[in-house]
Amino acid sequence: MMITVNLRPGQKRKRAGGGGKEFLEQFRALGTRVKDPMLLAATVVGVVVGGYLIWGFGSTRRELAVLEPRLEQVQDEHKRFEGLLQQKHRAEEIRDSLLTQIHTIRSVDGNRYIWPHVMDEVAKSLPPYTWLTLLAVQGAVAVTDTADTTDRPMQFRMEGRTMDLQAYTRFLRQLEASPWLQDVAPLEAATVVELERPVTKFTIQAAFKQADSAYIRTVPLSQSVR
């Protein structure tokens, strides 16, 4: 058996126990001192709300600490994608500018080389003992480079003579086979006498068309002469 002696009379010895028991005793004593139940309920609610706010503040701080690195990562990615979008916009502007320049060049040069193609195809299709007396745009009386082929194909008319009727039909077939010509149609063919010889006078109508790129051959503008 253990005997305890109070060396400080006048003061009660603290009861052995944890702080939780002391808190409960103080809370009970507070309940006995507070006679108004509404005030007691408000006090309890205030304690609960305060505890909840303290817990919520701590939880929010922890979530903020977790989300801050993710926010910085998202901001870095946003800056990187913004730079890529700016580069893409600049590249599109350059592309659109080049396409506009190419379209302008094509519109200027589109009609410049029509007649060289036409005359080259007609010359290659012309059989022996056959010659032309007229090659002109439909409705015109002379060769011109002012025809507009943007809305409709340029139509032209040929008049000529041949000493062989078979050469005339061969001329028609070769014109129809040209990749630069279309709508080849004979308008007139009759026998006439020129220089005391019978010859076939003919009139043919055709239209120019842009050939496929496989038929286009390019050559340098200048070549060195050795």
3-state SS, 102-167, equals HHHHHHHHCCCCHHHHHHHHHHHHCCCCEEEEEEEECCCCCCCCCCCCCCCCCEEEEEEEECCHHH
Whether residue 139 is found in the same domain as residue 163: yes
Please count the other Cβ atoms lying within 10 Å of the Cβ belonging to residue 189: 15
Q: Residue 206: helix, strand or coil by DSSP?
A: strand
User: Distance between CA atoms of 130 and 127, rounded to whole angstroms?
Assistant: 6
Output DSSP code: residue 170: H
> Residues 91, 151: one domain?
no
Q: Is 10 exposed, middle or buried (0-12, 13-18, 19+ CB in 10 A)?
A: exposed
| Domain final residue pick, 92, 109, 126 | 109
Q: Is the pLDDT of residue 157 over 90?
A: yes
> What sign results for the dihedral spanned by CA atoms 135, 140, 146, 147?
negative
- Regarding whether 100 and 124 lie in a shared domain, the answer is no
At 187, is the pLDDT very low, low, confident or very high (cuts 50, 70, 90)?
A: very high
For residue 176, tell me if it sits in a domain: yes
pLDDT band at residue 139, thresholds of 50, 70 and 90? low
Which residue, of 109, 131, 163, is where some domain finishes? Answer: 109
Name which of 94-108, 117-131, 155-169 the model is least confident about.
94-108
Q: Is residue 89 part of a domain?
A: yes
β-strand partners of 162: 130, 200
Distances (CA, A) of 120 to 24, 115, 125, 163: 114, 8, 9, 22
Q: Is residue 118 located within the same domain as residue 102?
A: no
Question: Is 201 a member of any domain?
Answer: yes
Quote the pLDDT of residue 174.
94
End of a domain among 89, 109, 129? 109
Question: Do 119 and 85 share a domain, yes or no?
Answer: no
Kindly state whether residues 144 and 160 are assigned to the same domain: yes
Please check whether residues 159 and 176 belong to one and the same domain.
yes
Question: In terms of residue numbers, what domain contains 148?
Answer: 114-213
Answer whether 0.85 is exceeded by the pTM. no
Q: Does residue 125 belong to any structural domain of this protein?
A: yes
The answer to whether residue 14 is domain-embedded is no
Our count of domains for the chain comes to 2
In this structure, are 103 and 63 located in the same domain? yes
My answer on whether 105 and 118 are in the same domain is no
Cα-based distances in Å from 216 to 39, 118, 209: 101, 13, 13
The token pair at 90 is 């600049």
Whether residues 118 and 209 share a domain: the answer is yes
**Bigger pLDDT: 43 or 221?**
43
124 and 99 in a single domain? The answer is: no
Strand partners, 208: 181
CA distances from 89 to 79, 82, 93, 96, 103 (A): 15, 11, 6, 10, 21
Q: State pLDDT tens for residues 105-124.
A: 666 655 667 888 888 899 99
Position 15 in a domain: no
**Same domain for 104 and 161:** no
Query: Domain for residue 1, yes or no?
Result: no
